[in-house]
Amino acid sequence: MALLPILVFPDPRLHTVAKPVAAIDDRVRQLVADMTETMYDAEGIGLAATQVDRHERVIVIDVSEQRNQPLVLINPEIVWASEETQVGDEGCLSVPGIYDGVERSTSVKVRALDQDGTERVIEAEGLLSVCIQHEMDHLAGKVFVEYLSPLKRNRIKSKMLKSRREAVRA
């Protein structure tokens, strides 16, 4: 397994729409393993392939307290979302240190393949529901800050660019 570099907003590659995975083979299983290791190393609860500059419909998530129950979603699609919504603070490995309120459905049902190619239907609520919706946005080329006002989004963009410049100088 290998740690993968995580793209940081406003990197334009974060806006690339991911393509479906044609076949689940050793290459895809290796990507899943590397993404899972990267997510755990970065202390995140979810990671989409788009965030590691692989533009395929692959997501890894682990919202368990012990951080030992990874969920793999390949070619996920939301087949149902509750009309009831809730605003909750979200953060993102691609927007480090930034948290803000985003409105999401309180529960979703998603159909996806796992790393063995088995179709699964997952009914999620709470944190898992939010995480699935957040990561699926990445596959569509959307970062959570795009839900915020243009003023907040521009402040975040400026902050991320300043952090990048300071890191290069260091």
Tell me whether residue 83 is one of the annotated catalytic residues: no
Q: 134 a known binding residue?
A: yes
Q: In a 10 Å sphere around its CB, with 0-12 CB exposed, 13-18 middle and 19+ buried, how is residue 121 labelled?
A: exposed
Q: How many residues does the chain have?
A: 170
| Pairwise CA distance, residues 92 & 114, whole Å | 23
Tokens 């953060």 appear where? Answer: 91
> Of 65, 103, 135, 166, which is the active-site residue?
135
Q: 15 a known binding residue?
A: no
Q: 138 a known binding residue?
A: yes
| Pairwise CA distance, residues 92 & 47, whole Å | 9
| Pairwise CA distance, residues 148 & 100, whole Å | 8
| Pairwise CA distance, residues 39 & 49, whole Å | 11
Respond yes or no on whether the N-terminal peptide bond of residue 10 is cis (omega within 30° of 0). Answer: yes
- 123's CB contacts (< 8 A; 6+ apart) are 107, 108, 109
Residues annotated in a binding site: 92, 134, 138
Active-site amino acid positions: 135
Query: Which residues does the annotation place in the binding site for Fe cation?
Result: 92, 134, 138
